[in-house]
């Protein structure tokens, strides 16, 4: 039993609230335990200069932690994102592009913004999980809606897993993450294909069997998150 009462293979309570803000067509508050991230998605009628005239659109992501989302206060990123934020927003963008067909979006850009309201571990994985739902809503509310089945090839979600005191634990909160011997983030499609596996030993290297155990636990967690996304989206769930 873990400090928050969960089993080793149990993720934190997850809630996805659609339409959380008024202006962005895709707007989702995703909560995983005490971690809360606002994910918004907007469509712009232009593409980066290097894509002008080419038969495809673009999807990009930005990520930030609000100053009051953690203790001590995180300084606001005024000039440019710090290295961690850049790494995470690139991960979010890669993850979403893996399941989006950019060709039917020619001449359009899909902007995804993930802003952490409360941080208690797993902010990057919560961002990916919530951002997918925001993207589906944004497309459904645009004139691209008739092409949604062509644009959305699959779903995508992410979760963390690690080794804490020799045991594989799913979906680490901050206190667990800060003392984990191994920390791994897994991004996976709803159809069960891997997008990205990020794993690091903080002190003691891990064995192939431990890696297999972590991937198995994370895969089961992704299946659960995919069902939560599906329930949240209802009839907007990608049919392709």
Q: Return the structure tokens found at 39.
A: 């994910």
Mean pLDDT of 225-238: 95
Separation between Cα atoms, residue 40 and residue 137, nearest integer Å:
9
Q: Which of 16, 26, 17, 18 is nearest to 145 (CA)?
A: 26
Q: Place 235 in a pLDDT band, splitting at 50, 70 and 90.
A: very high
Separation between Cα atoms, residue 91 and residue 128, nearest integer Å:
8
- pLDDT value for 75: 83
Separation between Cα atoms, residue 198 and residue 162, nearest integer Å:
11
- The DSSP element (H or E) to which 196 belongs, if any, is strand 194-201
Ordered alpha helix ranges (H), 1-116: 83-97
- pLDDT value for 51: 93
Q: Is the pLDDT of residue 240 over 60?
A: no
Domains and CATH numbers, the chain: 14-236 (3.30.230.70)
Q: Quick check: 184 and 162 in contact, CB under 8 A?
A: yes
- pLDDT value for 74: 84
Q: Which letter does DSSP use for residue 76 in this model?
A: P
Neighbours of 125 (CB within 10 A): 32
Beta bridge partners of 116: 37, 65
Over residues 190-201, the pLDDT tens digits come to 999 999 999 999
Separation between Cα atoms, residue 24 and residue 42, nearest integer Å:
6
Separation between Cα atoms, residue 33 and residue 55, nearest integer Å:
41
Q: Return the structure tokens found at 66.
A: 């609000």
Beta bridge partners of 61: 112
Q: Quick check: 32 and 14 in contact, CB under 8 A?
A: yes
Q: Which of 119, 136, 186, 183 is nearest to 158 (CA)?
A: 186
Over residues 172-224, the pLDDT tens digits come to 999 999 999 999 999 999 999 999 999 999 878 999 999 999 999 999 999 99
Mean pLDDT of 19-42: 97
Over residues 51-106, the pLDDT tens digits come to 999 999 999 999 998 888 888 888 887 767 788 899 999 999 999 999 999 999 99
- pLDDT value for 71: 82
Separation between Cα atoms, residue 53 and residue 70, nearest integer Å:
43
Question: How many residues comprise the chain?
Answer: 240
Mean pLDDT of 135-144: 97
Q: Is the pLDDT of residue 231 over 70?
A: yes
Share the mean pLDDT of the chain. 94
Q: Is the pLDDT of residue 226 over 60?
A: yes
- pLDDT value for 82: 81
Residue indicated by tokens 């939560």: 228
β-sheet with 35-44: strand ranges across: 14-18, 26-32, 35-44, 109-118, 58-65
> Residue 17, class by beta-carbon neighbours within 10 Å (0-12 exposed, 13-18 middle, 19+ buried)?
middle
């Amino acid at each position: 039993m873990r400090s928050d009462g969960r089993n080793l293979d149990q993720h934190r309570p997850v809630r996805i609230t659609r339409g959380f803000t008024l202006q962005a067509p895709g707007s989702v508050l995703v909560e995983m335990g005490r971690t809360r991230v606002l994910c918004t998605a907007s469509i712009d009628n232009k593409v980066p200069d290097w894509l002008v005239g080419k038969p495809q659109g673009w999807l990009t992501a930005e990520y930030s932690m609000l100053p009051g989302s953690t203790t001590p206060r995180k300084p606001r990123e005024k000039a440019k994102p710090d290295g961690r934020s850049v790494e995470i927003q690139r991960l979010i963008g890669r993850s979403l592009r893996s399941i989006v067909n950019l060709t039917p979006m020619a001449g359009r850009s899909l902007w995804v913004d993930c802003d952490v309201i409360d941080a208690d571990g797993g902010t990057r994985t919560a961002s990916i999980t919530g951002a997918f739902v925001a993207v589906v809503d944004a497309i459904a509310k645009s004139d691209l809606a008739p092409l949604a089945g062509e644009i959305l090839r699959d779903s995508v979600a992410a979760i963390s897993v690690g080794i804490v005191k020799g045991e594989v634990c799913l979906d680490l909160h901050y206190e667990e993450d800060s003392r984990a011997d191994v920390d791994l983030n897994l991004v996976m499609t709803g159809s069960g294909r891997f997008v990205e596996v990020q794993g690091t030993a903080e002190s003691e290297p891990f064995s192939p069997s431990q890696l297999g155990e972590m991937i198995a636990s994370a895969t089961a967690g992704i299946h659960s998150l995919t069902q939560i996304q599906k329930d949240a989206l209802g009839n907007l769930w990608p049919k392709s």
